[in-house]
Amino acid sequence: MPVKDFNGKQVQVDDEGYLVNQADWDEELAKAIAKEEGIEELTEAHWKVIHFMRKEYQEKGTAPSIRRLKNTGGIPVKELYNLFPGGPAKKAAKIAGLPKPQGCV
């Protein structure tokens, strides 16, 4: 498995850059991953999505899809794309330290 360095913290990632060990995740790591993904600052709206995704993953064992983020999380799809441009479910899952959501190419 590849290893990435985020602000001096080395973590194992899969071939697509998703964390292998969710125990490595913390909010500082999330900020570093976000910067790498082109998001300079995580706002309260970003954190709402990230924490919802982590809670869903803990309860259900999979990262939520965009549809679930919209329907259960109450976050409009347009807002998701504004917050996480270029693939909100994949990008938000990566920042949240979760595996790539099922159904994402």
Question: Which residues are known to be catalytic?
Answer: 104
Q: CA Rg, the chain, in Å?
A: 13
The residue written with tokens 């920042």 in the block is 95
Region of 94 (left: φ > 0; alpha: ψ -120 to 50; beta: rest) is: alpha
- Helix then strand then coil, % of the chain, to nearest 5: 50, 10, 40
Q: Is the Cβ–Cβ distance between 101 and 91 less than 8 Å?
A: no
